[in-house]
Structure 1
Amino acid sequence: MTNLSWRQKAACRGLDPEIFYPTSDDAADTAKSVCNACAVRTPCLEYALSHREHDGIWGGATEKERRRIVRQRRKSA
């Protein structure tokens, strides 16, 4: 899947985007459950990491979780 073509296969396609901008942990769990069943979870997460998305759930990860991934990658590089 090149460029953003992965978005066509996303489980979240057509869902209310507000789901992915939660205001509580319970709401985050709802978004993550959609991501967990998604065939393009990895490209979505990589997109968010490479574009430094600060808000929302991307690829099943919150902003805090994505920051942790970035730190871990820097340490192992």
Structure 2
Amino acid sequence: MAKRKESYESTIKKLEKIIGEMENEELSLEGSLKNYEDGVKLCNKLYKMLNDSETKIKILTEQGEKDFVEVDE
């Protein structure tokens, strides 16, 4: 079965939950390290999502500018 791609918003919510746990609960060292590791993984995933979106926007913008220039000519 194919793995469903997570949305940016759901990934942010997971990260916020981890941050909340780390701020509000007394965790063991192991629990804190696990949350930290999971948080870093989520941050990297979010960074990749943003970079991918930025790349798509640049491509669309460049194509739109080319299409716009061709129409004017």
Interval of TM-score (by shorter of Structure 1 and Structure 2):
under 0.3
Q: TM-score, normalised by structure 1?
A: 0.27
Q: Higher relative CO (CA 8 A, sep ≥ 6), structure 1 or 2?
A: 2
TM-score normalised by structure 2 residue count: 0.28
Q: Work out which of the two has the higher radius of gyration on C-alpha atoms and give 1 or 2.
A: 2
**Which structure: greater helix fraction?**
2
